[in-house]
Structure 1
Amino acid sequence: MGKKRTIVIDDTTLRDGEQSAGVAFTQREKCDIARNLAAAGVPELEIGIPAMGLEEQETIRAITSLNLDIRTIVWCRMCEADLQAAKGLGVQMIDLSIPMSDQQIKHKLQRDRDHVLTQIARMVPMALDAGFEVLVGGEDSSRADLDFVLSVLDVAQAAGAQRFRFADTVGILEPFGTAEIFRTLRQNSDLELEMHAHDDYGLATANSLAAALGGATHVNTTVNGLGERAGNASLEEFVASAASLYGFETGVDQRRFHALSELVATASGRPVPHQKSLVGSCVFTHESGIHVDGLVKDPKNYQGLDPLTLGRQHELVLGKHSGTRAVLHVYQKLGLTLSVAEALEILTRVRRFAEIYKRSPNEADLLAFHRDLASEGRAA
């Protein structure tokens, strides 16, 4: 087998993740998230926007002062004021962002394409002289003329930039088109290529994987997919699928995802849905009688992803769709041996309970069912 290809994760939970409406991390929370991302092996973190002001700058400085084994990046507009605000904060790389689409160039900047190329040629050397590694951020690249984007890459590389970020700012890409775009970019440029996806159509992770297959070297992610509007590509989804489905190396420890997810959910005030892929509380929980029977016989019968990879394990619960085998198995784990008749009687109670209370019975409920059965003289 050939050498596995590496994809570098540039996680932007602390920048684009925090741009979710209503999300506001404290300095302590941002430092804690940064420490945990670094401990998980995430190599690059985009940690803030210096132009927001002194408080944001102090938080950025606090993160860089942790001396974590990561590359730190800040987001700036491609202008001198933002570059000036980024100085002295201890970050290694600066993302100088500017629109790529005619829509934003004309109706946001009120400029033309020549202005964009001129700004890149002017600002990149200034950032290099200030001691930064430079990433040129192509805002709204997905709505831009691809030939113009290629011109931007040429100018950026000539000016000394290290990387180009292709941003699907409004989340309109689909995977097949994304792969083709990145193949074209890769064939025409030696720059590092970074994908920045948004989840407006639920395709952020798929588009990021497609970009990786097409030649991207870096991918932006956020924990839990936190981000503007519908969010960004999820760190946990991208890393797990890139490794399991395509054999990419990221160096990220998937066993830390669950704790990271809970940390960011608490700090952001955005609870993780029970069925959120990989990190939701119920994604390895099984109730259906047929599935439970298969899992008891051999976990591989209903296991596409080994939960141990994520530091988790299967959980069998009882509910409306359970069968007698599941009842026997669960009660055996509680130290109680049931007859088939007892299991059938308890199954009736379990189903009634689930319909009334809209949840699975917990251990206390299950023991109560057994006590009730005994008091009625129906338990062995």
Structure 2
Amino acid sequence: MVKIFDTTLRDGEQMPGVALTPEEKLQIALALDEAGVDMIEAGFAAVSKEEAAAVRQIAREVSRAEVVSLARMTKSDVDAAVAADVDVVHVFIATSDVHMKYKLGMTREQVIRAVEEVIPYAKSHGVRVLFSAEDATRSDLDFLVEVYKTAIEAGADEINVPDTVGVMTPSRIAFLVKFLRERLPPVPMHVHCHDDFGMAVANTITAIEAGADVAQVVVNNFGERAGNAALEEVVAALHFLLGYKTNVRLEMLYELSRLVSRLFGVPVPPNKAVVGDNAFSHEAGIHVHGVLNNPFTYEPMTPEAVGNRRRIVLGKHSGRHAVVWALKNIGVEPHDELVNYVLEQVKELAVRKVRIDEEVLREVVHAYMRASSRPYAV
């Protein structure tokens, strides 16, 4: 069983221009809980009093998933997370040379000491601790192992391997996961992949195949810069491509995507995998013919399995089978003359950038009726 850690309310909300109200954060958290994710990173409690209150409310009202707050490697951040009544405190500190020098202004020894000091402090409050080595994928490997070992020895229950700026490829993330697995005690390992080169989902899936236990994801791959690994794509790939199981209710993925899109104020691209409106849309004649005979000719999974639906689209590339299907769909019995007329009109309208929906199709049928004096009820 692969666990799903959702960080839509923390890393996702760090998307430029996005700011959720506490009520909106709670609405998304409850939907994530209902959808079956295992862990919900509700936010960063130390950011503000409002954020802390939102995290606390989520921790109080979520009934199934574990609720997590992010915290820097400081006692004050841990205090804020603990005060929010979360189940897990997610502490992090950078381990790459570039981050330690230019962001933290700390030496390797100082980073190790901070880990040794803060993780036991967090554990003393009776919470579980997840430790992240920020920018792990650009860190010196021997030092990375040393930091993770230190964190585990200090009491970290789980560790996370973040690809903070999305520089991994599938082969490299597989190597890193196996490298760490061979050198660390067997605690649960998360992976957190960013999408700077468009490989966050592929890297996440490969990391799970290589031995990681938990996928950190964001709905709709929202997040900083190019975003994070998409929850819906990771879960669908795990289920349908690898045969792995998660606790996520796949049939809720489409509505969950739309809820987050609406509250973030960011539309879902039509060609978005799994949950986009074009994900199961077909226009080309040969594709429509195949799908109408057997959906698996051009669909790798059923749209209903992920809460989406099939759409047969009329346009420039349509053929007779699509027109026949569309006419029947609006209650019109097709015959050769009508089908030929509609197909010709559809192709002309499509070139003029007219979207052929049901209303337009009815207008085309009415035009045929007027020209041919045939009675049709549409």
Q: Which amino acid aligns with 2:235?
A: V
Q: Distance in 1 between matches of 2:102 and 2:166?
A: 19
Structure 1 segment 212-231 matched on structure 2, within 5 A: 212-231=208-227
Does the 8 Å contact 1:94/1:134 carry over to 2? yes
The answer to whether 1:183 aligns with 2:183 is: no
Structure 1 segment 3-82 matched on structure 2, within 5 A: 6-82=1-77
Structure 1 segment 278-293 matched on structure 2, within 5 A: 278-293=274-289
Does the 8 Å contact 1:194/1:216 carry over to 2? yes
The answer to whether 1:313 aligns with 2:309 is: yes
Q: Which stretch of structure 1 is more off in the superposition, 322-331 or 232-241?
A: 322-331
Q: Distance in 1 between matches of 2:36 and 2:139?
A: 34
Q: Which runs of 5+ in 1 are unaligned?
A: 1-5
Of all paired residues, the percent bearing the same amino acid is 36
Does the 8 Å contact 2:29/2:62 carry over to 1? no
Q: Which runs of 5+ in 2 are unaligned?
A: none
Q: Distance in 2 between matches of 1:109 and 1:296?
A: 59
In the alignment, which of 292, 296, 307 is matched to residue 292 of structure 2? 296
The answer to whether 1:91 aligns with 2:86 is: yes
Q: Which amino acid aligns with 2:40?
A: L
The answer to whether 1:138 aligns with 2:136 is: no
| Alignment match, 1:3 | none
**TM-score relative to the length of structure 1:** 0.96
Give CA-to-partner distance per residue, 1:116-172, whole Å, 9 cap, x none. 111111111100012221111110101001111111121111111111111111111
- Structure 1 residue ranges, 4+ long, deviating more than 6 angstroms after superposition: none
Q: Which amino acid aligns with 1:105?
A: M
Q: Which amino acid aligns with 1:235?
A: L
Q: Distance in 1 between matches of 2:25 and 2:314?
A: 39
* Partner SS state of residue 216, structure 2: strand
Q: Which stretch of structure 1 is more off in the superposition, 50-59 or 226-235?
A: 50-59
Q: Distance in 1 between matches of 2:233 and 2:167?
A: 19
Q: Distance in 1 between matches of 2:192 and 2:328?
A: 49
Q: Which amino acid aligns with 2:3?
A: V
The answer to whether 1:325 aligns with 2:312 is: no
* Partner SS state of residue 104, structure 2: coil
Does the 8 Å contact 1:342/1:378 carry over to 2? no
**TM-score relative to the length of structure 2:** 0.96
* Partner SS state of residue 160, structure 2: strand
Q: Distance in 2 between matches of 1:316 and 1:346?
A: 15
Q: Which amino acid aligns with 2:176?
A: I
Q: Distance in 1 between matches of 2:302 and 2:88?
A: 37
Deviation of the 1:338 alpha carbon: 2.8
Structure 1 segment 253-272 matched on structure 2, within 5 A: 253-272=249-268
Q: Which amino acid aligns with 2:284?
A: S
Q: Which stretch of structure 1 is more off in the superposition, 100-109 or 80-89?
A: 80-89
| Alignment match, 1:197 | 193
Q: Which amino acid aligns with 1:201?
A: F
Does the 8 Å contact 1:370/1:379 carry over to 2? no
* Partner SS state of residue 47, structure 1: strand
